[in-house]
Amino acid sequence: MFLRAMTAVAAFGLGAVAAQAETDVQLALDWKFEGPAAPYFAAIDNGHFAANGLSVEVLAGQGSLDAIPKVATGAYPFGFADINSLIKFKDQNPDAPVIMVMMSYDKPPFAVIGRASLGVSEPQDLEGKVLGAPPPDGAWAQFAPFATANGLDMETIKVEPVGFPTREPMLAEGKVDAVTGYNFSSFLNLARLGVPEDDITTILMADHGLSLYGNGIIVNTDFAEDNPELVKGFLAAVAAGWKDAIADPAAGAAMVIERNPAGDAELETRRLQMVIDANVLTPWVAEHGMGNIDPGRFAASLEQIAETYEFQGTPDPALYFTDAYLPEGGFALD
């Protein structure tokens, strides 16, 4: 169904990419150029892509749902997207040629951000409180399985729909007791609004019962089948870029600011460091390497997704993720 609808676009876009696949490829990000984009620019500036015979253009995005169809149609060979969004997309478009080939955020950024002074430090503290949640928010979409995992009584939590621009200001003003958001964004937004950092509490859902994974590299499967070594080289270069960003976050943030002069170098350095500490360099990654996933945890994540999403087909992990282009044991980041 999906492929029939996009035949003309796919034929043109994928053909154009394949013709240049030996050297020139594009990566569609999920968001604008901020700290977490540093590894890709490090891979460019430090020669990792070039060492793998690649010239890579990185393009900003407007969310994970923006990157997925770009890759699925063949307009871009590579993208960076949330695997939970990919799972739903593939369920609705089973013929779409897109799959994740490298997990980057072993822990997704979905979080509840509260204030200690308002009595919110742990999941159970949310009972009897007011939670601000933008309806389209990715973190809010995962709140139901998070609540189930922590035995929260939703009848006692007042959910206040808020807009993205007003989310953190309402928490800063005490109009809500907590909000849903991304750990590396809401915290920094609150700090910039003058909320003392020791008053800000971040409840990362992955640390409290949520089995879901986060963002990673997706690829057009037709492109990957035609260019397996290129895909392997691309992933190796991205992993090398992550190693550079982990070793020197300030240098990584500077590379981002070079592409986004309106950004704040100090802010993006902090954002990058938060992503590294909370989402990327987890104990599991330290032991097993970056890029792969744990099959048991992934199966559990599909069950959690099914708590709030009705699958049209039978969930199949092989449709959403493959380790075929990863080295055995993943990529060591130390």
At 235-286, the pLDDT tens digits run 999 999 999 999 999 999 999 999 999 999 999 999 999 999 999 999 999 9
Q: What pLDDT score was predicted for residue 288?
A: 96
Q: What is the mean pLDDT of the chain?
A: 93
* Structure confidence at residue 82 as a pLDDT band (50, 70, 90): very high
Instruction: Give dist(CA 180, CA 50) in Å, integer.
Output: 40
What does the pLDDT average to over 171-182? 98
Nearest in space to 111 (alpha carbons), one of 312, 275, 291: 275
Q: What pLDDT score was predicted for residue 254?
A: 98
Nearest in space to 219 (alpha carbons), one of 111, 112, 40, 70: 70
Nearest in space to 205 (alpha carbons), one of 130, 136, 146, 141: 146
* Structure confidence at residue 7 as a pLDDT band (50, 70, 90): very low
Phi first, then psi, for residue 281 (nearest 5°) are -90, 65
Nearest in space to 113 (alpha carbons), one of 219, 190, 49, 56: 190
Question: What tens digit of pLDDT does each residue of 312-328 get?
Answer: 999 999 999 999 999 99
Q: What percent of the chain has pLDDT over 90?
A: 91
Q: What percent of the chain has pLDDT over 70?
A: 93
DSSP label at 278?
A: I
SS3 112: strand
Q: What pLDDT score was predicted for residue 19?
A: 39
Higher local confidence (pLDDT), 239 or 136? 239
Q: Which residue has the tokens 């994740």?
A: 100
pLDDT at residue 190 above 50? yes
Contact 148, 216 (CB under 8 A): no
Instruction: Give dist(CA 204, CA 139) in Å, integer.
Output: 10
Kindly list the distances between the CA atom of residue 168 and the CA atoms of 18, 28, 135, 185, in Å, as whole numbers in the listed order: 44, 28, 15, 10
- Enumerate helices (H) and strands (E) in the chain, giving the number of each: 16, 10
* Structure confidence at residue 297 as a pLDDT band (50, 70, 90): very high
Domains of the chain, first to last: 2-107+212-319 (3.40.190.10), 110-207 (3.40.190.10)
Q: What pLDDT score was predicted for residue 15?
A: 42
Contact 131, 178 (CB under 8 A): yes
Instruction: Give dist(CA 54, CA 56) in Å, integer.
Output: 6
Nearest in space to 224 (alpha carbons), one of 7, 86, 11, 18: 18
* Structure confidence at residue 65 as a pLDDT band (50, 70, 90): confident
Q: What pLDDT score was predicted for residue 23?
A: 72
pLDDT at residue 16 above 80? no
Q: Which residue has the tokens 């750990």?
A: 183
Instruction: Give kind and range of the element (H or E) at residue 116.
Output: none
pTM equals: 0.91
pLDDT at residue 67 above 60? yes
Phi first, then psi, for residue 303 (nearest 5°) are -65, -40
Question: What tens digit of pLDDT does each residue of 17-62 get?
Answer: 443 444 799 999 999 999 999 999 999 999 999 999 999 999 999 8
Q: 132 is written with which tokens?
A: 């601000």
Angle, helices 295-305/83-92, rounded to nearest 10 degrees: 60
pLDDT at residue 11 above 60? no
